[in-house]
Amino acid sequence: MAKENTTAYIILGLLEHEDLSGYDIKKKIDLMISHFWEVGYGQIYPTLKVLEESGRIVKRPGETYKGPERNLYSITESGRTALTEWLKIPEIKDHTRYEILLKLFFGSMLSVEENLKRIELYREKHLENQKTIQFFKQNLQQVLSEDEDHLYYYLTVLFGEKVYEAYLSWTEEAKELLENFQKEKGPL
Amino acid sequence: MAKENTTAYIILGLLEHEDLSGYDIKKKIDLMISHFWEVGYGQIYPTLKVLEESGRIVKRPGETYKGPERNLYSITESGRTALTEWLKIPEIKDHTRYEILLKLFFGSMLSVEENLKRIELYREKHLENQKTIQFFKQNLQQVLSEDEDHLYYYLTVLFGEKVYEAYLSWTEEAKELLENFQKEKGPL
DNA sequence: ACTAGCATGTAAAGAGTTACATGATTAA
DNA sequence: TTAATCATGTAACTCTTTACATGCTAGT
């Protein structure tokens, strides 16, 4: 992850569509991208600064019709080039880290009940996620033919759906295995 | 992720089983844990130092029967306490970042062919991963009844299997969607 | 002779998180 | 009047990666 600054490319990618403020960028990421890549303000604002200094984007004051000041950023030709180059090179790898698996891996230090509870909570969380992403999916399906961007967006949503499905299916099987283990252990 | 030092707990968890050197720890992580949480030497050695300074582990010279020097680390009572406490608190969240989805999300800047190729490469990579993890799974199944640790290990392997399955199923559906899009676009 | 594996570490830099600070507007 | 939302940013800190440095042994 280091020395990549993926955040910069996310910003460039969003600005390629339309001019946005830092705040807008955060909102867009939260809405469409955060399922598979989260970004905080603490990364967005400094990255905007760096991108501006290197000429990938330009800042101008936004119409501050009401509320606080607003800066709007636009992508430059140089920014567009950088983005396309990044898109063309193959991605290195997924970066997945599951704290729950770490804690389960050392699960024998806790009671079976505690591990079952952990799995149950995980299940509940991802049932929520599943609902959310299916809502997104349905909305997207209705506008899928409108333009190419929707199709690519749809692919990422589909990915999320499949993965949540896998999580949920795992929780069921894991629960069963642990419960059987508990039963066998008990009477002996 | 910040201010957590998960690496420390992985080390403590492994040492809870048996005394190990930094090198051993890296090997164990690569073999059993790296599917869902990777750690490099650059994190292991500094973390060992910190853990030793805070009394969670103790170092002693290992039997250097042959080859280079070896330090062996053992967990202390304080280390065991810290580990158990960490295991008991609920995990915060998964940390998943998919570079491929980011690049696909902005896929309209590339040709459909380029995106298809990206998905195809992803598929090949995870076909490999699937094979590997199924091999692990089969080996584990044979020793599952031996002790509780194997069962928890098995749960993490099962998780990996489900997730790889999801990735592969996604690649199929994504490929089809993109190919159909290409066909519709072509003749018009 | 060369490569792979064993084994330990440091340094530098960048990525990422969390908390803090400020202040206006709008709706309940 | 309180909370939420809009809006921008900094500081401190930690995490993480990458590259570097060293040197032995065993096998081909």
* Residues B67-77 pLDDT 10s: 567 899 999 99
- Specify the pLDDT at position B68: 64
Which of A43, A62, A88 is at the close of a domain? A88
Encode chain A (188 residues) as per-residue pLDDT tens digits.
556 789 999 999 999 999 999 999 999 999 999 999 999 999 999 999 999 999 999 999 876 555 567 899 999 999 999 999 999 999 988 899 999 999 999 999 999 999 999 999 999 999 999 999 999 999 999 988 878 999 999 999 999 999 999 999 999 999 999 999 998 876 66
Q: Total structural domains in chain B?
A: 2
Number of H helices and number of E strands within chain B?
7, 3
Tell if the pTM clears 0.95, that is, is over it: no
Chain B residues touching A37 at Cβ < 8 A: 97-98, 101-102
Q: Please, are residues B166 and A169 in contact by the beta-carbon 8 Å criterion?
A: no
Q: Does A178 touch chain B (CB under 8 A)?
A: yes
Domain presence at residue A1: no
Does A118 share its domain with A84?
Answer: no
**How do residues B5-20 score in pLDDT, each as one tens digit?**
899 999 999 999 999 9
Does A104 share its domain with A84?
Answer: no
At residue B1, does pLDDT exceed 50? no
| Nearest CA distance, A116 vs chain B (angstrom) | 11
Cα–Cα dist B93/B31, whole Å: 23
Residue B173, both tokens = 């559906």
Domain presence at residue B1: no
State whether the beta carbon of B55 lies below 7 angstroms from any atom of strand D: no
> Among B89, B117, B156, B183, which would you mutate to test the A interface (most chain A Cβ atoms within 10 Å of its Cβ)?
B156
Higher pLDDT, B14 or B62: B14
Does B109 share its domain with B72?
Answer: no
Q: Please, are residues A39 and B129 in contact by the beta-carbon 8 Å criterion?
A: no
Does A142 share its domain with A174?
Answer: yes
Q: Do B108 and A148 touch (CB under 8 A)?
A: yes
Does B176 share its domain with B111?
Answer: yes
Q: Which residues numbered 44-63 in chain B sit less than 7 A from strand C, measured from CB?
A: 45-46, 48-49, 62
Which of A88, A123, A147 is at the close of a domain? A88
Across all strands, nucleotide nearest B44 (CA–C1'): C9
Nearest to B109 by CA among A82, A115, A29, A119: A82
Q: Do A163 and B166 touch (CB under 8 A)?
A: yes
Which of B57, B88, B119 is at the close of a domain? B88
Does A138 share its domain with A79?
Answer: no
Residue B145, both tokens = 């009844």
Task: Count the neighbouring beta carbons within 10 Å of the beta carbon of residue A105.
Answer: 22
Does B164 share its domain with B122?
Answer: yes
Residue with tokens 């050392």: A106
Size of interface A-B (CB pairs under 8 A): 202
Does B112 share its domain with B153?
Answer: yes
State whether the beta carbon of B4 lies below 7 angstroms from any atom of strand D: yes
Residue with tokens 């202390």: B76
**Helices marked H in A39-98:** 41-53, 77-88
Cα–Cα dist A62/B84, whole Å: 52
**How do residues B116-142 score in pLDDT, each as one tens digit?**
999 999 999 999 999 999 999 999 999
Q: Could you give the dihedral angle defined by the CA atoms of residues B100, B103, B105 and B108, in that order, rounded to the nearest 10 degrees? A: -140
Does B80 share its domain with B129?
Answer: no
Cα–Cα dist B137/B96, whole Å: 23
Across all strands, nucleotide nearest A45 (CA–C1'): D9
**How do residues B154-168 score in pLDDT, each as one tens digit?**
999 999 999 999 999
Q: Which sign, positive or negative, has the C-alpha torsion B112, B115, B120, B123?
A: negative
Cα–Cα dist B4/B92, whole Å: 10
Does B171 share its domain with B105?
Answer: yes
Does B70 share its domain with B137?
Answer: no
Cα–Cα dist B13/A102, whole Å: 9
Q: Does B157 touch chain A (CB under 8 A)?
A: no
Boundaries of domain holding A19: 6-88
CATH code for position B22? 1.10.10.10
